[in-house]
Amino acid sequence: MARSGLHALAEAVLLPGFAGTSAPDWVRERIADGLGGVVLFGRNIVDDEQVAALTAQLRGERDDVVIGIDEEGGDVTRLDAATGSTLPGPLALGAAGDLGLTAEVGTALGARLAACGVTLDLAPCADLTLTLDDPIIGVRAFGADPYAAAAHVAAYVRGMQSAGVAACAKHFPGHGASTSDSHFTLPVLPRTPDELDAVELVPFRAAIAAGVRSVMTGHLVVPQWGPDPATVNPTAILEVLRGQLGFTGAVVTDALEMGAVAGHLGNAAGLADAAVRSLRAGADALCIGGEIADADAVAAIVERIVAEVHAGTLTEERLAEAAERTRSLGVPPHGGVTARDDVELGMAVARKALRTSHLPALSPEPLVVDVEVEPTIAAGHVPWGLGPHLVELLPGARAVRVTAAQPGELFDLARGREVVVTTRDAHRHPAVLDLVAGLVRTATAVVHVETGTSGPDLGTLGRIDTFGGSRSSLRAAAEVISGSSVSGLARHTDPTGLADR
């Protein structure tokens, strides 16, 4: 029998994660008793068929359960965490500069999620790529120009929601000017409210005008809004997002166990405190479980919310409002839209996004060096690298994977050879910059393939920017290098405008 009263309302606002590829007993029991829903992570996914079976299992407990996923495409993928995404991410879409393609990608991803039974996609990023020092957004945003990015955000939202899957514009009020990662510390945005209104808030306005059904708050401080991050700040949510921007849908929090609000990852007391503070500030659906995924944490939060209502520090009316808005994200998706094949669409975007510079004709036997760096916590460990693609297209090529800290025999292998070196945000890793410089000194010619945010020129003979590390983006770069698909590829400017900074 479903729980009643305050406990049921407290359950209804929570979207926890869990471990495993089928729903554990505690999740199914709580959904039957009114738990708002769940968020799926890479650890929950084998393939689309398994996800569909999992969501059917969850929906068997209650029809309106919210089933969310953090599927941005490109570098941040959950459905394709084991293989890498076929669809390029936002920065590649921004580089391609084709709103029709962006809408197609949103539609294709929405159709796929609908077939998997997902009701809420925690995408797209409405952030901007505003500084090379940003450690967490980068290729996840559509670019630096607020109006160009806004048009892509709106196209993506419309495409996604045409399949009945709720989109979620994030991370309000915009993470792109930050130089710290809110997974660990509390970023302070160097912005006045007027500056935010003219820059960061532009894509969020576009998402709202496009009918986006949810907006995710970021754990970010705007000093003139007070010392609290947006997720727990009533000025941010009630005065700006709802009042100034006119948003009436569901406000979803970023993961509450993140260090910016919970103190540090895994702090149960901080998590319960963050849950109550976010509800008081006007948030509706509370995401937890990226790092904490167990029944005890959920129970502790429920009891704390109920206790706060009894103490008069959180009203029952506010809790009921949040529960109703959260339930609105559990409408089963209708699907039924026609979408282009993901592989064909992904390659169309990737080829149009590429920027090439002084690309030389290479021999059929280059050394291909993939330089691995630790991925962001948002992306996680997803297959990446140019080597397998280029070896397939140029069987004489030799591929190696190294880290900058342990290059092994790399420079001996590179001496006197042509080298293709692939990096991800090389500008953020001094050791990677040193490694590329060493290759320039050692090899007869070096082509640099940058799969992250476009940084400064590193003195190589040729360069390709893919604006993301999706399988399609890497394949498109391999095509150009191998000479198999050079004709018809246009050159494009850097959508971030940061490369020469």
Burial class of residue 460 (count of CB atoms within 10 Å of its CB; 0-12, 13-18, 19+): buried
What pLDDT, on a 0 to 100 scale, did the predictor assign at position 494? Answer: 67
Which residues form the catalytic set? 183, 254
Reported as a single tens digit per residue, the pLDDT across 269-306 is 678 899 999 999 999 999 997 666 689 889 999 999 99
Alpha-carbon distance of 398 to 329, in angstroms, equals 49
Reported as a single tens digit per residue, the pLDDT across 401-421 is 999 999 999 999 999 999 999
What pLDDT, on a 0 to 100 scale, did the predictor assign at position 437? Answer: 98
Q: Which candidate, 315, 305, 299, 235, places its Cα nearest to that of 276?
A: 305
* Strand ranges, E, within 294-414: 355-357, 367-372, 398-403
Both tokens of 183, joined, read 């997974």
Both tokens of 209, joined, read 């005008």
Residue 418 β-bridge partners: 445
Starting from the edge strand earliest in sequence, which strands make up the sheet with 462-465, in order? 355-357, 462-465, 445-450, 418-423, 367-372, 398-403
What pLDDT, on a 0 to 100 scale, did the predictor assign at position 330? Answer: 97
Both tokens of 399, joined, read 């591929």
Q: Is 227 helix (H, G, I), strand (E, B) or coil?
A: coil
* Domain boundaries along the sequence of the chain: 5-330, 354-482
Query: What DSSP character marks residue 73?
Result: B
Q: Which candidate, 471, 473, 445, places its Cα nearest to that of 460?
A: 445
Residue type, 491: R
Tell me the CA distances in angstroms from 455 to 425, 450, 465, one per residue in order.
7, 8, 9
Weakly modelled stretches of the chain, pLDDT under 70: 1-4, 179-185, 258-269, 290-293, 484-501
Q: At what angle do helices 295-311 and 5-12 cross, to 10 degrees?
A: 120
What pLDDT, on a 0 to 100 scale, did the predictor assign at position 264? Answer: 39
The CA dihedral of 342, 345, 346, 348, to the nearest 10 degrees, is: 160
What pLDDT, on a 0 to 100 scale, did the predictor assign at position 132? Answer: 86
The CATH number fitting domain 5-330, selected from 3.40.50.620, 3.40.50.2300, 3.20.20.300, 3.40.50.300? 3.20.20.300
Chain centroid offset of residue 99 CA:
19
Q: Which CATH architecture has domain 354-482?
A: 3-Layer(aba) Sandwich (3.40)
